[in-house]
């Protein structure tokens, strides 16, 4: 039985970089809302304000306040220029100012601790974090009104998030941030305006008992809607007991609150059957987020989302999956999205493989001449992913029952397992066990 | 005596060139990099070889990718005798096996078969890249 989901399942996409705006514009009918991180808002206010208006979707601003409590190195510039101590990134410095963060002098030198807040400074902090979300984009438009069209400036008054989010810090179950997080929720409620919260916890340290206690405390909050972020939870590699712990936490919280997964893939979508009311993810990447982000690493490789295994595969494995398939087989067993259908129409499976594996040679300063996927391949694979994710949400939320859906998912996975390897589908068995509402 | 991956690669290049193939080391195929890629100028037959000192399991996954764009794919290992598990895994996937000894002598112990996912258009593109890279060499 599903618990307390009210209304339609909400599908949010988190904008990672401005380069992704193109995907979101094209995929506009495929999702409900936009999630923006405050550091991206702060870095490019005007561009995001115009984009949010043009897109015309509801949006939320994640205040990313937890970042101030992390290793201060993560707040510093990643510039490669030699420097005894890299300066604090301008965006986080500006956010600290906007939020009226206490102990700003220590920014980038040591992490923020709960001891730096008293009742007054915490109330000021919460107030400014909420106001930031409701006013920052609008103010960018006002400052640039002379350079914008009247249509854009006229829409500026509507440029507020669906629900501002109370500040939050990642709970590591030590008790360090728990009271501050609860106080943030309480103050946000007392301030009178609408607000939502974030339940962020270090999943590596979670146990069934500690999660139970955490959820119990959030259930006492007066706020009605929460996003949930189990940090470092990789749906594909997390063992079943840990997934089940997360699923049980979602189910219990959803009994009384509206809960949206802040970072989630297909497993999170399956949690619809445990009461989850929505999911947010990035464009192709971003169905998980570690507490401490990995810096650098270059451009991620182009990958193909294979719905049968609910995961991406290396482009080089696509011929293995497609071996011997007719065009109709491909549509039925692999994908019939608008992108794949178009590629098939232009020359069948052979053409699809040729177009999705197209590469070009580029000069790399470190590695000489390297072969990389063309920009078009990235565009095709990401649009294909967004179309598939939309289809999956529909597939799950319109399924007659979890058991019927599970059977269909397993059949598809077994077909793919035969083509690829058994390890490609192990995660699906874990998901189905963990998400089963029975 | 340890036989390093580099020695295995050199032995494979020598073997292929003695058989009339033109070779390229570190050749990009479908997002992976084959240790040796060889084209026979007369027949047009292409061969990719993944050389491994250890972790042959990972090598199998790479070799499977090369099969999409190569007529024949081999794994080269520095061993005297392959284990039954290695032989069975490679046999099932149509990947050939060449063993290399301390003196750099090579011995083919398993024939390669053309894979079911061999894709002519990808094969053709790999050959074109091979020619382009040969022309680009000083």
Taking the C-alpha atoms of residue B25 and residue A139, their distance in angstroms, rounded to an integer, is 57
Q: Are residues A271 and A318 in the same domain?
A: no
Across all residues in chain A, what is the average pLDDT?
90
Which residue, A194, A198, A189, is CA-closest to A35? A198
Domain count, chain B: 1
Query: Could you tell me the residue range of the domain that residue B99 belongs to?
Result: 5-136
Helix (H) / strand (E) containing A143: helix A119-143
Residue B121 and residue A350: Cβ atoms within 8 Å? yes
Instruction: Determine, yes or no, domain membership for A296.
Output: no
Last residue of a domain, one of A216, A246, A281: A281
For A35-63, the DSSP string reads EEEHHHHHHTHHHHHHHHHHHT-EEEEE-
Give the CATH number of the domain where residue B28 resides: 3.40.1350
Q: Are residues A217 and A71 in the same domain?
A: yes
Is a pLDDT exceeding 70 seen at residue A227? yes
Residue B116 and residue A314: Cβ atoms within 8 Å? no
CA distances from A407 to A62, B18, B31 (A): 37, 55, 34
Is a pLDDT exceeding 90 seen at residue A154? no
Q: What is the pLDDT of residues A354-394, one digit of tens each?
A: 999 998 888 777 766 777 899 999 999 999 999 999 999 99
Lookup result for tokens 């764009």? B69
Residue A316 and residue B30: Cβ atoms within 8 Å? yes
Taking the C-alpha atoms of residue B70 and residue B68, their distance in angstroms, rounded to an integer, is 6
The radius of gyration computed from the CA coordinates of chain B, to the nearest angstrom, equals 14
When pLDDT is averaged across residues A224-237 and rounded to a whole number, the result is: 96
Q: Are residues A133 and A77 in the same domain?
A: yes
Question: How many A-B residue pairs are in contact by the CB < 8 A criterion?
Answer: 59
Query: CA of B62: which chain A residue's CA is closest?
Result: A316
For A206-219, the DSSP string reads --HHHHHHHHHHHH
Tell me the nearest-neighbour CA distance from B115 into chain A, angstroms.
9
| Per-residue confidence band for A5, with pLDDT thresholds at 50, 70 and 90 | very low
Q: Are residues A326 and A264 in the same domain?
A: no
Give the CATH number of the domain where residue A221 resides: 3.20.20.380
Say if residue A78 is exposed, middle or buried (CB neighbours under 10 Å; 0-12, 13-18, 19+). Answer: exposed
Instruction: Determine, yes or no, domain membership for A290.
Output: no
Tell me the nearest-neighbour CA distance from A340 into chain B, angstroms.
17
Tell me the nearest-neighbour CA distance from B17 into chain A, angstroms.
24
Q: Are residues A270 and A383 in the same domain?
A: no
- Side-chain half-sphere exposure of A50, counting CA atoms within 13 A: 12
Q: What is the pLDDT of residues B98-131, one digit of tens each?
A: 999 999 999 999 999 999 999 999 999 999 999 9
pLDDT at residue A104 in the model: 81
Instruction: Determine, yes or no, domain membership for A287.
Output: no
Question: How many C-beta neighbours within 10 Å does residue A333 have?
Answer: 17
Sign of CA dihedral A320, A322, A325, A326: negative
Query: Could you tell me the residue range of the domain that residue A418 belongs to?
Result: 303-435
pLDDT at residue A77 in the model: 83
Residue B30 and residue A357: Cβ atoms within 8 Å? yes
Taking the C-alpha atoms of residue A328 and residue A412, their distance in angstroms, rounded to an integer, is 16
Q: Are residues A61 and A210 in the same domain?
A: yes
Residue B120 and residue A371: Cβ atoms within 8 Å? no
Residue B120 and residue A351: Cβ atoms within 8 Å? no
- For A344-380, b/e burial (b = at least 16 CB within 10 A) is beeeebbbbbbbbbbbeeeeeeeeeeebbbeeebbeb
ipTM of the complex: 0.87
Q: What is the pLDDT of residues A237-271, one digit of tens each?
A: 999 999 999 999 999 999 999 999 999 999 999 99
Instruction: Determine, yes or no, domain membership for A32.
Output: yes
Q: Are residues A308 and A275 in the same domain?
A: no
Instruction: Determine, yes or no, domain membership for A322.
Output: yes
Q: Does B115 touch chain A (CB under 8 A)?
A: yes
- Side-chain half-sphere exposure of A327, counting CA atoms within 13 A: 12
Q: Are residues A84 and A150 in the same domain?
A: yes
Instruction: Determine, yes or no, domain membership for A298.
Output: no
What predicted TM-score, i.e. pTM, was given to this entire model? 0.90
Q: Are residues A260 and A375 in the same domain?
A: no
A435 and A267 Cβ atoms separated by less than 8 Å: yes
Return all residues near A239 (Cβ < 8 A) that are at least 6 apart.
A430
Q: Are residues A43 and A184 in the same domain?
A: yes
Domain count, chain A: 2
The tokens describing A265, both together, are 């893939």
Instruction: Determine, yes or no, domain membership for A5.
Output: no
Q: Are residues A218 and A255 in the same domain?
A: yes
């Amino acid at each position: 039985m599903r618990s307390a989901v009210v209304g339609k399942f909400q599908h949010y996409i988190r904008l990672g970089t401005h380069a992704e705006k193109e995907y979101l514009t094209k995929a506009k009918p495929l999702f409900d809302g936009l999630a923006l991180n405050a550091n991206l808002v702060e870095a490019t206010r005007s561009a995001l304000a115009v984009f949010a208006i043009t897109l015309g979707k509801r949006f939320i601003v994640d205040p990313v306040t937890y970042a101030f409590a992390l290793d201060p190195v993560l707040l510093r510039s990643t510039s490669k220029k030699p420097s005894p101590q890299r300066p604090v990134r301008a965006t986080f410095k500006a956010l600290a100012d906007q939020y009226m963060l206490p102990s700003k002098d220590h920014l980038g030198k040591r992490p923020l601790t709960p001891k730096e807040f008293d009742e007054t400074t915490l109330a000021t902090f919460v107030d400014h974090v909420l106001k930031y979300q409701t006013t920052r984009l609008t103010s960018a438009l006002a400052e640039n009104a002379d350079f914008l069209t009247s249509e854009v400036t006229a829409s500026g008054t509507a440029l507020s998030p669906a629900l501002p989010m109370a500040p939050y810090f990642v709970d590591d179950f030590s008790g360090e941030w728990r009271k501050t997080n609860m106080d943030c929720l309480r103050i946000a409620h007392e301030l009178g305006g609408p607000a939502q919260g974030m339940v962020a916890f270090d999943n590596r340290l979670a146990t069934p008992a500690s999660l139970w206690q955490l959820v119990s405390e959030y259930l006492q909050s007066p706020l009605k809607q929460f996003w949930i972020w189990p940090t470092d939870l990789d749906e594909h590699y997390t063992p079943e007991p840990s997934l089940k712990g997360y699923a049980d936490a979602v189910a219990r919280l959803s009994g009384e609150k509206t809960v949206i997964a802040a970072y989630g893939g297909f497993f999170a979508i399956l949690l619809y059957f445990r009461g989850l009311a929505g999911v947010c993810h990035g464009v192709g990447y971003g169905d998980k987020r570690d507490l401490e982000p990995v810096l650098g690493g270059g451009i991620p490789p182009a990958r193909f989302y294979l719905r049968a295994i609910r995961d991406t595969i290396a482009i080089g494995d696509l011929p293995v999956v497609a071996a011997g398939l007719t065009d109709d087989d491909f549509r039925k067993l692999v994908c019939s999205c608008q992108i794949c259908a178009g590629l098939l129409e232009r020359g069948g499976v052979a053409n699809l493989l040729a177009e999705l594996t197209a590469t070009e040679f580029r000069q790399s300063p470190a590695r000489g001449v390297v072969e990389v996927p063309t920009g078009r391949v990235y565009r095709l694979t990401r649009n294909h992913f967004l179309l598939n994710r939309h289809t999956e949400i529909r597939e799950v939320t319109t399924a007659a029952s979890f058991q019927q859906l599970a059977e269909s998912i397993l059949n598809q996975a077994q077909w793919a397992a035969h083509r690829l390897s058994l390890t490609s589908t192990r995660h699906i068995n874990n998901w189905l066990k963990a998400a089963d509402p029975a | 005596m340890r036989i390093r991956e580099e020695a295995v690669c050199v032995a494979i290049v020598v073997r292929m060139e003695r058989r009339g193939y033109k070779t390229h080391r570190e050749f990009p195929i479908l997002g992976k990099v084959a240790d040796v890629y060889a084209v026979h100028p007369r027949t047009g037959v292409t061969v990719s070889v993944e050389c491994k000192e250890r972790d042959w399991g990972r090598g199998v996954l790479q070799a499977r990718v090369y099969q999409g764009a190569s007529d024949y794919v081999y794994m080269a290992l520095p061993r005297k005798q392959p284990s039954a598990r290695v032989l069975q895994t490679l046999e099932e996937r149509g990947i050939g096996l060449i063993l290399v000894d301390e003196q750099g002598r090579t011995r083919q112990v398993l024939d390669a078969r053309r894979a079911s996912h061999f894709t002519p258009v990808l094969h053709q593109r790999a050959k074109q890249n091979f020619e382009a890279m040969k022309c680009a060499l000083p």
